[in-house]
């Protein structure tokens, strides 16, 4: 990131957090609703769409491929679907920005098209591994060229795809979704088996758009050759965005926050269970369902936390929330042991190494392991941490600063806009003391 773009934060201790916090729409659902609406027949209306850089990048790519998308107001999109075979090729590269979800899912979608496409990303995305998607797609008949497994990805068109039965070596909703999207264009059935169940947003949304699909935790199967019918989608508030406020209110004495209409997909809420195991006071009110997704209001109050040995069964259901959990563990009484989370090493940054380095800089006792960490809770000191441009790292250390012994300076926070536009204003609105520098 160039000096002109660099943005640093300073987070300071506060007395309590109070109020209602309306977090942005779910990023995962926003990506998928845009893609399925684009290749559906008819016009779909999306409400609650995340106005983040990642999701806007996906929308821009689809526009480049010939899809007409209107944005009548913030968080609203009207998508005029072109049907399964209506996308048009582009002579220019398709820029996914920082969106790993966007690139991986689009790779599956584009594998079944008649035209060639080149997917590119920013500096961070260009370092993220893509073989876990391109290798199984190749088994389906796709031809995808990469830079030794890294972007840019050149997706060759005109390949006849065939369904496969694929057992994922590592549980990943993104890889599963890419294969299912390719399976829409494949002859025969595409079946994905996971070692642990992951988020089933794609499966639920395919069903909502009328595609016959059979799925259960850890398993999904569909046949090619059907069609998607336009539907209206209401995107729930993003649980991953809510995570930072759940942790913050849990660790700042005297706090009470309400987060309305948060998505509570059971494959997404591992952090909720983990925090409750640590003694957090979090309750769900006003449960309902929207577009096949469970939603509810989360009410969180301060409670003393204690360390736990995190059950490995929760790991796939909270993979994006680990940076926030690390902060909760740093404050909790006793030791927290995290295992089975090697996936964290190939996110926007190596999140285990980045969190460990930052926590050590603040005086927290943490031992890094190949697939997790051992954290001895206590107090958080003062100092400067590097986010390495990782939005979730930055927001997690913003929460840490609330209970630190002094100021916590967080370097390189501009990428927060990829997933959580308006974070600074929303956080300060409920009591954070967060300012920008640089």
What does the pLDDT look like over 177-233, one tens digit per residue?
Answer: 999 999 999 999 999 999 988 889 999 999 999 999 999 999 999 999 999 999 999
**174 assigned binding-site residue:** yes
Question: Does 238 participate in catalysis according to the annotation?
Answer: no
Q: What is the pLDDT of residues 225-283, one digit of tens each?
A: 999 999 999 899 999 999 999 999 999 999 999 999 999 988 889 999 999 999 999 99
**In this prediction, what percent of the chain has a pLDDT beyond 90?**
84
Higher pLDDT, 386 or 197: 386
Using the predicted structure, report yes or no on whether residue 94 has a pLDDT greater than 50: yes
Sheet holding 293-301, edge to edge: 18-20, 256-263, 293-301, 281-290
d(CA 393, CA 50): 20
- The DSSP symbol for 162 reads B
Task: Tell me the mean pLDDT in the region 290-317.
Answer: 91
CA–CA separation, 244 and 248 (whole Å): 6
Can you say whether the dihedral through the CA atoms of 191, 196, 199, 204 is positive or negative? positive
pLDDT tens across 405-437, in order?
999 999 999 989 877 889 999 999 999 999 998
Quick one: which of 28, 37, 72 has its CA closest to 237? 28
Find out whether 197 and 316 touch, Cβ atoms under 8 Å: yes
Ligand-binding site membership of 16 (annotated) = no
Q: Which helix (H) or strand (E) holds 366?
A: strand 365-369
CA distances (Å), origin 202, targets 31, 149, 177, 206, 257: 10, 24, 6, 6, 30
Chain centre distance of CA 384: 26
Question: Is 351 assigned to a binding site?
Answer: yes
List helix spans (H) across 87-200.
Answer: 100-110, 131-139, 173-183
The answer to whether the annotation marks 92 as part of a ligand binding site is no
Residue 296 has pLDDT above 50, yes or no: yes
Please tell me the chain's helix, strand, coil percentages from 3-state DSSP, rounded to the nearest 5: 35, 30, 35
Residue 139, helix vs strand vs coil = helix
Instruction: Return the DSSP state at 191.
Output: E
> Are domains 8-25+236-437 and 27-234 of this chain identical in fold?
yes
Q: Which residue has the tokens 């016959």?
A: 212
Of the residues 26, 297, 320, 412, only one is catalytic, namely 320
Helices (H), 4-163: 27-38, 53-64, 100-110, 131-139
> With 90 as the cut, is the pLDDT of residue 18 above it?
yes
Decide if pLDDT at 82 tops 80: yes
How high does pLDDT run on average in the chain? Answer: 94
- Please check if 32 is assigned to a binding site: yes
Residue 1 pLDDT grade (very low, low, confident, very high; cuts 50, 70, 90): very low
φ/ψ of residue 203, rounded to 5: -60, -45
pTM, to two decimals: 0.83
* Topology at the third CATH level for domain 8-25+236-437: UDP-n-acetylglucosamine1-carboxyvinyl-transferase; Chain (3.65.10)
Residue 25: the pLDDT is 92
pLDDT at 8 over 80: yes
Cis peptide before 237 (omega within 30 of 0): no
Domain boundaries, the chain: 8-25+236-437, 27-234
Tens of pLDDT, residues 111-167: 999 999 999 999 989 999 999 999 999 999 999 999 999 999 999 999 999 999 999
Three-state SS at 356:
helix
What architecture is domain 27-234? Alpha-beta prism (3.65)
């Amino acid at each position: 990131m160039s000096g002109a773009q660099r943005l640093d934060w300073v987070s300071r201790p506060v007395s309590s957090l109070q109020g209602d916090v309306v977090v942005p729409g779910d990023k995962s659902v926003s990506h998928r609703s845009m893609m399925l609406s684009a290749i559906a027949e008819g016009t779909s209306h999306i409400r609650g769409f995340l106005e983040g850089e990642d999701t806007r990048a996906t929308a821009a790519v689809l526009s480049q491929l010939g899809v007409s998308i209107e944005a009548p107001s913030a968080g609203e999109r009207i998508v005029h679907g072109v049907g399964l075979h209506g996308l048009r090729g582009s002579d220019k590269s398709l820029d996914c920005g920082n969106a790993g979800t966007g690139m991986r899912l689009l790779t599956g979608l584009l594998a079944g098209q008649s035209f060639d496409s080149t997917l590119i990303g920013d500096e961070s995305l260009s370092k993220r591994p893509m073989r876990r998607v391109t290798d199984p797609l190749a088994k389906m008949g796709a031809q995808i060229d990469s830079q030794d497994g890294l972007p840019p990805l050149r997706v060759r068109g005109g390949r006849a795809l065939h369904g496969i039965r694929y057992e994922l070596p590592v549980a990943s909703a993104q890889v599963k979704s890419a294969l299912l999207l390719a399976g829409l264009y494949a002859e025969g059935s595409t079946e994905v088996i996971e070692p642990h169940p992951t988020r089933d947003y794609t499966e639920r949304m395919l069903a909502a758009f009328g595609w016959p699909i059979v799925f259960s935790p850890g398993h999904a199967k569909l046949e090619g050759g059907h069609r998607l019918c336009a539907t209206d989608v209401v995107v729930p508030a993003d649980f991953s965005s809510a995570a930072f406020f759940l942790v913050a209110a849990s660790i700042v004495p005297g706090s009470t926050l309400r987060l309305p209409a948060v998505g509570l997909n059971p494959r997404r809420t591992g952090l909720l269970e983990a925090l409750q195991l640590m003694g957090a006071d979090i309750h769900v009110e006003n449960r309902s369902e929207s577009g096949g997704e469970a939603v509810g209001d989360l009410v969180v109050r301060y409670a003393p936390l204690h360390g736990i040995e995190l059950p490995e069964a929760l790991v796939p259901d909270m993979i994006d929330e680990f940076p926030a959990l690390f902060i909760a563990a740093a404050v909790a009484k006793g030791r927290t042991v995290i295992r089975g989370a090697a996936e964290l090493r190939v996110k926007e940054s190596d999140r285990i190494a980045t969190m460990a380095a930052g926590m050590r800089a603040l005086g927290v006792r943490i031992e890094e392991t190949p697939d997790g960490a051992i954290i001895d809770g206590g107090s958080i000191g003062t100092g400067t941490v590097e986010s390495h441009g990782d939005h979730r790292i930055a927001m997690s250390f913003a929460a840490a600063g609330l209970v630190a012994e002094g100021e916590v300076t967080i370097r390189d926070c501009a990428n927060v806009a990829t997933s959580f536009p308006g974070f600074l204003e929303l956080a300060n609105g409920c009591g954070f003391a967060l300012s920008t520098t640089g």
